[in-house]
Every structure is written in C-alpha cells, then in structure tokens.
Structure 1
Amino acid sequence: MPKVSSITRVLEIIEAVSYASKPMSPLELSQELDIPKPTIHRLLQTLVDEGFITIDIGGGVIAGKRVRNLSVELWQQRQFFNERQMILQRLVNDIKETCGLGVPYHNQMIYTNRVKTTLPIQIYLPVGAKSPMWCTATGKLYLSQLSAQSRLKILKSLPLDKFTKNTLVDINLLNKELDKIAKTGIGVDNEEFISEMVAVSVPVLDKQSRYLASLYVHAPTIRVSLDELLTHVPRLRAAAHDIQTLVYELQS
C-alpha cells in the first residue's frame, strides 16, 4: 500500500470536519480516515495551533476560523459572484423586492450578495453587513438546519438581544420556532430584527443536500405583509436551485 503523505491526511481531516453534521471526536476521525490514533492526535494539534480547527467544549473537533474565512472567500469568487448576481437580478425583476444571500460567519450571518429593488422605500443591509442569527430569516433558517445539540450550543452562546417587540429571546420559544422552520424549509422574520421590515428565506444546498446559504427577500411592511412575501417562496426556491447548479459546477 502506498504511503499517504501528511499533507493529504491534513486535507482529509479538514474536509471531514467541514462536512460533518456534528462535531467529530478524534477517535471517529481516526476510524473514518484510517489514520492511527497517535498520528491523528499529532495532526489535530497542529491544525488547532494553526487555527484550521478547534476543539469544542465536549471534546469534538469543529472547523476553525481559517476554514470559515476560506469558505466565505471561496463563496465570493468573482466568477460565481457575478453569476449569482445575475440570478438575483432576474428574481428582483420578477418579485420587485430586494433579494440577496447570507451565510453563517462565526455567530452571525454575513450578506454576500444583494440586488436592490427599484422601489422608493428600501432597507439598507449591504454586502458585507452582518446580522444576528436568532431574529433574521437567514439566521433562523441556518439554525433550523443544525442538529439539536449544535443548535442548543450556539443558542446558549448568543446574546439574544431584543431588537423589537417581536424578537424571540426565550430559548424554548425560539427552539419551537426553529423546529417549525426545519419542517417547512422557510425562514421568516416577522419584524423581529428591524421594526416594519419582514423577510423570508429558503436554503441553498450542496450536492449532498447540506445547507450552504440562505436566499432571502425582505421588504418594508408599508408595502408588503409577511403573508404576501411568503407567496414568493416558489420563485425563491427556483432561484436557489439555479444557484445550487453553480455550486455543483464548483464542486465538480
């Protein structure tokens, strides 16, 4: 059997940790990747020291800051950024409200693409802006996709500030809301982040049906109600499918 290089093993570890639906233990990584336990511990320590992975409070291995930063940079590659903008522009031409994409970044959501409505009243959330997870359509959709253990851990780490009278700050009530979103696949923000703004989101998935990003539409309530915004979900899902096709090309 040919000898596997340390570089290959390091990359396999990063890939396994990044794709895992829950934190993996060193033993699980050792068994899945067929790497001897002494070697896996040595490589994990190197990756921790370099910031590519981190060890959570339960001893599980999760992606570190450098992997998260890299994922955002890859998502922002100019070729695919421009093609996503074209898809979003067609969507905005159709539904007449601002649409964009948000991805998880640390314990926030960051907006990576945005096409504005041409209508006079707008909400200013530009590309690069960050928003809370627990009260936005994009963030709640992401949280709904997590395992119960991962979700609870993140919720306990969030400040859960109350931005409006509608913001859910009780973890039990928020969990019920996230369970509902997990079933429907539709993230909603009913004036929970910004008063007089409503938003809806649907997921963008990879080839293995894993969450990658939230495709959203938001609008002022003076013009559109949440129920009216929800009528655009089929159009949002069609656009999300078109964006997923671009992702599949990147993964090929």
Structure 2
Amino acid sequence: MDANKHSSRKQIQSLARAIQIMEFIAKNHNSASLTQISQNLGLSKSTVHGLITTLEDFNYVYQDQVTGLYQLGLKLFEMGQVVYSSMDLRSVAYPILVELSEKYQETVHLALLSGPEVVYVEKVDSSRSVRIISQIGGRNPTYCTGVGKVLLAGLTESEVEKIVKSTGMKKFTPNTIDNMTRLKKCLAEIAQKGYAYDLEEIEIGLRCVAAPIKNHLGKTIAGISLSGPTNRITDELLTTLSTDVVAAAHRISIKLGYKDIS
C-alpha cells in the first residue's frame, strides 16, 4: 500500500492496519503466517493476532487448519463479485432506467443480492420535488422490498429460508410480511407473474413495483424497481407500471444475453 497516498487524511489506525494485513496476504500468494505478517508490517504478534481474529470473525480472512497459514476469505470474493457483476450490468441498464424514470417522473433503482440483503448499485432520481431518499450502496432487507422479493423469487426454497433466517422478519409497518408461510406464497405468485409490489411494506407512504433481470442461463441476477409516494403510485396506475417495469427489465435481460423462449 502507498503509505503517502492518503497522508493528508485522518486515518483510523486499526482499520488501516487490517487493510494492510489483507493486502500483504494477497501479495504473498494468498498465504501468510502470523510471524510473516508481524515482521512485514512492523507490528507485534499480539496486535496482528487481535486484528486478524476480527477479520476472521467477519469472514475476510481464514486460517488453514492444516498449515496454520492465513488466507483471504470468501467475504472478499463475494464483495468482488458484486462489484464485477454490477459494472457491465450498470452500463447496459442505465439508459433503460433513465427512460423508465423519465416516463413516470419517479425514482428507479437497480439492485443486486449481496449476502442476505439487497444492495442498490444504480439509481435514477425522480424529477419531482417529493422523491425517494436512497443512495447507491444502500442496503435493505429482501422480504419487505419489491426488488428484494423478485430476487428471492429466483432462489430455491432452502436459499430463501437461509437468507430470511439470517435477517429475521422485522415488522416495519402493518403491511410487512412477517412469517415464512406468507412469504413463500407471495414468492410463488411473483415467480408466476414476473413482478412484485411493495405496498407500504417497509415504509408507510411508499409504494414500489419491481421486476427481475435474468442472464443468458435464465437465472435472476438483479432487479429493477420504480418507487414513489402512495398518492402518485395509485391502484389504477399499478397495472400500467407493472407492464412497463417488466418490459424494461426484460430489455436489460435481452442485452445481457437472455433468450426468451416463451
């Protein structure tokens, strides 16, 4: 790491050291002993052990039980996959997201499944004064968001159970689905219809329509959603919105190699 790169900025020492540890392991052919890390970074073994134990707890590093050497963990791979997957996806999807947003003057999101949550990787804001407050990189639960539910609908039942078990099913509003039986029924309907609603499930006053994006294998890899306040996303508008959101997601899927055999 370039020690002078951020010299003018205030750094959190423990965080900087943890990053240095991971960078050293990577440069050392993804394998390093506690002694090697300690000597290379000029830190005591006890300091390195404390930092690396924390990294292990969050799956950024793991220790080979046979050799005792430390290697980078799957969490970094998972995060890298999200970044890699989103790069081409974002460039393909963005013009279509803009078109959809401009048609209805509402906020449109592009999202991926990252671990047990939804992460928003692109956003086109509404042109209206009252708009959805969200940000790229923001996360939300899956079971109570439109885009989260279309992503869950593309998974196996056991995968859904694992995700929801890890997050729990907090009831954000009276409309939030808060049990697995209802969720499974909802996901089956979404898989059949090809779109999902969030009708004030995560926030009162907010409605959303979402649809899945599929790759060349027909696997759901992302989702898009159009969101707005309930006074604008009316019951009468939902059907039209569903058609257009599904069509936009389908266009993105086709550009990514999806073959529509229906």
TM-score, normalized by the shorter chain, greater than 0.5: yes
Residues 194 and 246, structure 2, Cα contact 8 Å, conserved in 1:
no
1:75 and 2:85 are equivalent in the alignment = yes
The secondary structure found in structure 1 opposite 2:127 is coil
Query: Distance between the aligned counterparts of 2:217 and 2:126, measured in 1?
Result: 33
Where does residue 171 of structure 1 map in the other structure? 180
Alignment of 1:103-182 (within 5 A): 103-182=112-191
Amino acid corresponding to residue 208 of structure 1 in structure 2: L
Amino acid corresponding to residue 74 of structure 1 in structure 2: Y
In the TM superposition, residue 49 of structure 1 has moved relative to its aligned partner by 5.4
Residues 173 and 202, structure 2, Cα contact 8 Å, conserved in 1:
yes
Alignment of 1:1-252 (within 5 A): 50-52=72-74, 65-77=75-87, 81-248=90-257
Percent identical among aligned pairs is 27
RMSD over aligned Cα, in angstroms?
2.3
The secondary structure found in structure 1 opposite 2:227 is strand
Amino acid corresponding to residue 84 of structure 2 in structure 1: L
Residues 198 and 226, structure 1, Cα contact 8 Å, conserved in 2:
no
Q: Normalising by structure 1, what TM-score? A: 0.69
Residues 200 and 230, structure 1, Cα contact 8 Å, conserved in 2:
no
In the TM superposition, residue 206 of structure 1 has moved relative to its aligned partner by 0.2
Distance 1:240-1:216 versus aligned 2 partners, 3 A rule:
same
Q: Normalising by structure 2, what TM-score? A: 0.67
- Structure 2's unaligned 5+ residue stretches are 1-65
Which structure: larger Rg?
Answer: 2
In the TM superposition, residue 181 of structure 1 has moved relative to its aligned partner by 1.2
In the TM superposition, residue 243 of structure 1 has moved relative to its aligned partner by 2.0
Where does residue 16 of structure 1 map in the other structure? none
Amino acid corresponding to residue 130 of structure 1 in structure 2: R
Residues 116 and 164, structure 2, Cα contact 8 Å, conserved in 1:
no
